Amino acid sequence: MLQFLDVANRLHRQGRVGAAAEDFELVLRARASLQAVQAKAYIDVFNMENVFGLFEMGRILRTLGTLGTDELRDSRRRCGPSLQ
């Protein structure tokens, strides 16, 4: 599981994610925007469970890095049952 996001990123770059490309892009954008936060707090943005937990926190706080509220609202649908 620790390499899940690395593998997902590689599959996305290779164009092997099909119709889920937007979903992959949302997670990868969120992860990239959170890397700036690491200067003030330790967040393992390479761990899938941490990233999904941050999506949940972002929905509660209505902000997650550079993602807007519309993207956060869609994240539950896009990321599927793993966030429910």
Q: What residue spans define the domains of the chain? A: 4-79
Tokens of 62: 């209505």
- pLDDT level of residue 84 (50, 70, 90 thresholds): very low
CA atoms in the 13 A half-sphere facing the CB of 4: 13
Distance CA 64, CA 80 (A): 18
Residue type, 65: G
Tokens of 6: 């690395």
Packing angle between helix 4-13 and helix 21-34, nearest 10 degrees? 120
Taking only the tens place, the pLDDT of each residue in 23-75 is 888 888 887 777 766 667 777 878 888 888 888 888 888 888 787 777 777 77
Q: What is the pTM of this model?
A: 0.55
Q: Whose structure tokens read 């993602």? A: 67
